[in-house]
Structure 1
């Protein structure tokens, strides 16, 4: 079996203002870091259809975003979320890539997949763009797996340093989805506490204090996250792979290193081997130190490839 990589040049056309942390250089860094991965099977991220977006967002929200595409320059949607003329094209590729990756992994075409697209998605709520995000990419992929492939147990794990408030909102009332978000607290967006448990006790929030390290993360995941996944017995594992818990990231204060991301990747793949024939789809979220991001993604993808063999 192989690992698939989904990406597309359209994702370079989502242009943010100078100095914005979610910038084109993030994807360029990842492409460079993966350039020598000759055994990685690369596939073009397809455009999604409107019906894909409507799995999680109402039509009025899609219409709002399309209406706000600027003819040139940049349009600010909130304090840190912007759109350029190419943003909707890029966002559609991000949704399409996640759906295509789920299709391919469920069809047995690959052992697992990594989606390298932007804008990210885990902060986009039902009718609200925020935190650099327009559509709930991973939540849409989860709903696609459940609604169109008939899966009854999908685990989504978000290890980005910021709470995945959007994914939480989109899957809040979905009993077929088990959602974990581990994140620094306190930190923007100021949500993601243990008492936020979803409509079916399907939401699990794990908080880490500023300056905590990877050893702390490993202890908590072993004690809380992995046993809960074992009990759920998922048919598919989806990862919101943010790399901004890295010790060098400028937007947060956790002290994880690259080996911590490798450890997490290996453990999720082991759980997938136990419960769902190794089926893992991982999608890029945050990570804003450009060098650390490229190195972290390369290590994450290398681990996915090793586990897919």
Structure 2
């Protein structure tokens, strides 16, 4: 069974007019998943994350700093890209809560895999720094929760967002129990993700792509650089940082992937999950800013999850 997790609170994280990271992204996803072919997709709303679980990745001082910065009205800029509105703290806690809920359902065997449609996204959020539209690192929080609550000995993150997940890499840089794998455009924000960045225990695998690359190059990067390392690592759980801004129509990157490429990548990850982690996969939404291509890419991704 594939589980779809979201929460209305994630619509209440507001951004300036014309900001690419906007509530309409979730509406587009929710609408496409109403199609009859997703009739058997199980749907649940998540609770807000307990702060103690968020604190597995983020210092208490940082969590409190974000909470205090939330305005009663209007917007507060944390940096050039990242803002807080009145609903942002609750949205961020529900975003992390969605990832936590997915871990609970998958690790307990109630669902085989899960897709978590939440915002704000998380993979740019470092331990004590919000950036790149991200407040709390949802994927990283999911990893730590799986380890603490369910005793997962090894967890892998596979990140195919067009932008490198510097936050996830930073949080797990010195952790031999977590492998972080990423395809991404380079050079591009945030400027990290070179192949030479390998982690303290050779636990980071970066496979950068160049502007203009098509799906064939993306698939080759996964096949050659990432999937063999993922299989060798033999994780107990795979967390996908599912960004869809590498699509050829997305305005924030310069890659040329299609919906079929995201479906293919999902199936390849699921093949390894079936061999190494009893099929246990959770997928957490990251980027994707052209609404139609985002919706179609999510549909391809969720279809692949449901087929496993």
TM-score (norm 1): 0.98
How many Å apart are 1:23 and its aligned residue?
0.4
How many Å apart are 1:190 and its aligned residue?
0.7
Distance 1:235 1:200 in 2: 18
Partner of 2:160: 159
How many Å apart are 1:217 and its aligned residue?
1.0
Structure 1 ranges of 4+ moved more than 6 A: none
Partner of 1:7: 6
Distance 1:126 1:159 in 2: 21
1:59-78 alignment, distance < 5 Å: 59-78=60-79
Distance 2:274 2:91 in 1: 32
Partner of 1:34: 33
Equivalent pair of 2:251/2:290 in contact (CA under 8 Å)? yes
> What secondary structure sits across from 1:295 in the alignment?
helix
Partner of 2:263: 262
How many Å apart are 1:39 and its aligned residue?
0.6
Equivalent pair of 1:126/1:166 in contact (CA under 8 Å)? yes
Deviations 1:116-150 (A, max 9, x none): 00000000011110000000100011011112211
Partner of 1:219: 220
Distance 2:20 2:179 in 1: 30
How many Å apart are 1:198 and its aligned residue?
1.3
How many Å apart are 1:197 and its aligned residue?
1.3
Which consecutive unaligned segments of at least 5 residues does structure 2 have? none
Number of corresponding residues: 306
Distance 2:76 2:32 in 1: 31
Distance 2:151 2:16 in 1: 41
Which consecutive unaligned segments of at least 5 residues does structure 1 have? none
1:90-109 alignment, distance < 5 Å: 90-109=91-110
Deviations 1:256-284 (A, max 9, x none): 00100000010111110011111110000
How many Å apart are 1:15 and its aligned residue?
0.6
